[in-house]
């Protein structure tokens, strides 16, 4: 690929990201997967998003005051991992987990009560300084996990 074509593609990406941010879909300049998941979940469940720097939860239900942590993963042909982002704090009531297809369509989404965010489903990583959850296996069969539509 020629250097100029690479630059043009990156400039197009930058333009798309800026447009998504101006439309309120993205809240940061990072990888858009997390912001897009937060956007979809907040719109679907009428949640108020917190500031980007809140490590405990991403959104709150203005009626019930329940706190929601929203984590996501985009599964691609290059990486099919279902490991969600690190949870630095477990100070929330529910985890909403969203898996995207490579084209950003929702593959699966789950509402998970905090009560099951513990071993054996979750492990603490000293290196990451947070809790890690891989969205596969036994947790998907847990009676308190609820599959949701976005």
pLDDT tens-digit map of 55-86: 789 999 999 999 999 999 999 999 999 999 99
- pLDDT, mean over the chain: 93
Q: Specify the fold of 31-147.
A: Trna Endonuclease; Chain: A, domain 1 (3.40.1350)
pLDDT of residue 70: 96
Q: What is the mean pLDDT of the segment spanning 119-145?
A: 95
Separation between Cα atoms, residue 124 and residue 89, nearest integer Å = 11
Does residue 1 have a pLDDT over 70?
no
The token duo for 69 is: 């942590």
146: cis peptide before it, omega within 30°? no
pLDDT band at 26 (very low <50, low <70, confident <90, very high): very high
Q: List pLDDT tens digits, range 37-52.
A: 999 999 999 999 998 7
Share of the chain above pLDDT 90, in %: 85
Range of lowest pLDDT (29-33, 39-43, 47-51, 121-125): 29-33
Q: What region, left, alpha or beta, does residue 86 occupy, with left being phi > 0 and alpha being psi -120 to 50 degrees? A: beta
Q: For residue 95, is pLDDT > 90?
A: yes
Average pLDDT over residues 4-27: 90
> Does this model's pTM top 0.85?
yes
Spatial separation of the C-alpha atoms in residues 36 and 140, rounded to whole Å: 23
* pLDDT of 97 above 90: yes
């Amino acid at each position: 690929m020629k250097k100029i074509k690479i630059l043009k593609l990156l400039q197009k990406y930058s333009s798309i990201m800026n447009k998504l941010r101006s439309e309120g879909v993205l809240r940061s300049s990072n990888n858009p997967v997390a912001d897009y998941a937060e956007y979809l979940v907040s719109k679907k469940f009428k949640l108020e998003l917190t500031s980007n720097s809140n490590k405990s939860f991403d959104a709150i239900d203005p009626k019930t005051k329940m706190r929601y942590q929203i984590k996501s993963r985009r599964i691609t042909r290059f990486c099919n991992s279902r490991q969600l982002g690190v949870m630095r704090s477990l100070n929330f009531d529910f985890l909403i987990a969203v898996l995207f297809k490579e084209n950003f369509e929702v593959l699966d989404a789950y509402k998970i009560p905090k009560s099951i965010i513990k071993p054996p489903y979750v492990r603490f990583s000293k290196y990451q300084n947070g809790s890690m959850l891989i969205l596969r296996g036994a947790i998907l069969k847990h009676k308190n996990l609820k599959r949701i539509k976005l």
